[in-house]
Amino acid sequence: MKSFLKNYRYLILLILCTINMCYAFAQENAGKDPLQAYLFPPELVMQHQNDIQLTKAQKDTILNIVEDAQKKFSRLQWDLQAEVGSMQKLLAESTVSETKVLEQLDKVLDQERHIKRVQIILMVRVKNALTDTQKAKLNSFKEK
């Protein structure tokens, strides 16, 4: 039974890691994620800031947007780790309460939802800081 619970705990962690990896993969493969086709990662904007003639005001705006999001990400990552830790404790018990585990899973998924929400807000704000011409140029860089 302990072996099963240990494997179950690793399965849950594997699922959580897979979710995070899928998001990272989606970011790297913008053309394959339908939302990413319309958004611009800050890294792409900064990489091509000269090519798109990013103004100092735009650069400052985007840097402020990124810094604000990073603060939120740090807090949310800590909260997510705490919730995953609680899940591990529940799964490590000799008899596992399905109800408690599912309640804890909802808390973990809630934290992931908050992280994804902050990511979308970040990307939308970056997009809104750009002109249509800059967006068109960035889209051409995405296609390469």
Query: Is the confidence at residue 6, as pLDDT, over 60?
Result: no
More confident site: 50 or 4: 50
Contacts 24+ apart (CB under 8 A), 92-97: 92/5, 92/9, 93/5, 94/1, 94/2, 94/5, 96/5, 96/8
Chain segment 93-135, per-residue pLDDT in tens = 999 999 999 999 999 999 999 999 999 999 999 999 999 999 9
**In the chain, where are the structural domains located?**
2-143
CB of 129 within 8 A of CB of 56?
Answer: no
Chain segment 46-86, per-residue pLDDT in tens = 999 999 999 999 999 999 999 999 999 989 999 999 999 99
Q: What is the pTM of this model?
A: 0.70
